[in-house]
Structure 1
């Protein structure tokens, strides 16, 4: 690939931070999930359960953010390829949204099982 830069740990870290900043500025769903994560982390700290259960809740909560970032990347690539309403573009975006929905559902199910 011609646009692939040479590997550099510090530059790659900067690219990751740039991506996070872009997501916070442009993706309302990510901002909402990041805001909710503040309360989720507080809940994890204060819930009376084992360390293992707390780690499960933390990991599934972070997984929601990760999948949302991947979904946003998919949506950006689809928008770059076409601005038309195309069935394949819609499918790609819908499938990415489904991944986010499944991840949020997994997180909620973990909370339900751990609390009750």
Structure 2
């Protein structure tokens, strides 16, 4: 039995609800996520139009989704660190910087994939 007491289909429904709540919370509180989502709304249809085959479309769309995934994780790290208070700590700053760097690397990854597939 799951720790929450929910199993099977009920657990899946509950997990989907928590995921939806996380997406809504990130959208509400994180401007970077809103900006990346807006860019994604343009890039995903563009990938469907510009991609030569299913594999290139999947790579282009997957790279866009990866940026959103990494931004969600970065936002989670920042929220957890901010939960512990406002004092500045070297390890907290390092963790936030690393999360930000992960977002940057995911954006660079998407840019490289798009350039390689479109050139």
Give the shorter-chain TM-score range.
over 0.9
For residues 97 and 19 of structure 1, the distance between their equivalents in structure 2, rounded to whole angstroms, comes to 19
Unpaired segments ≥5 residues, structure 1: none
Q: Does 2:107 correspond to 1:104?
A: yes
In 2, Cα distance between equivalents of 1:73 and 1:105: 21
Structure-2-length-normalised TM-score: 0.90
2:54 aligned with 1:33: no
TM-score, length of structure 1 as denominator length: 0.92
- Runs of at least 5 residues in structure 2 that lack an aligned partner in the other structure: none
How many residue pairs get matched? 113
Question: Would you say 1:83 and 2:86 are equivalent positions?
Answer: yes
CA RMSD of aligned residues (A): 1.1
Q: Shift of residue 49 of structure 1? A: 1.3
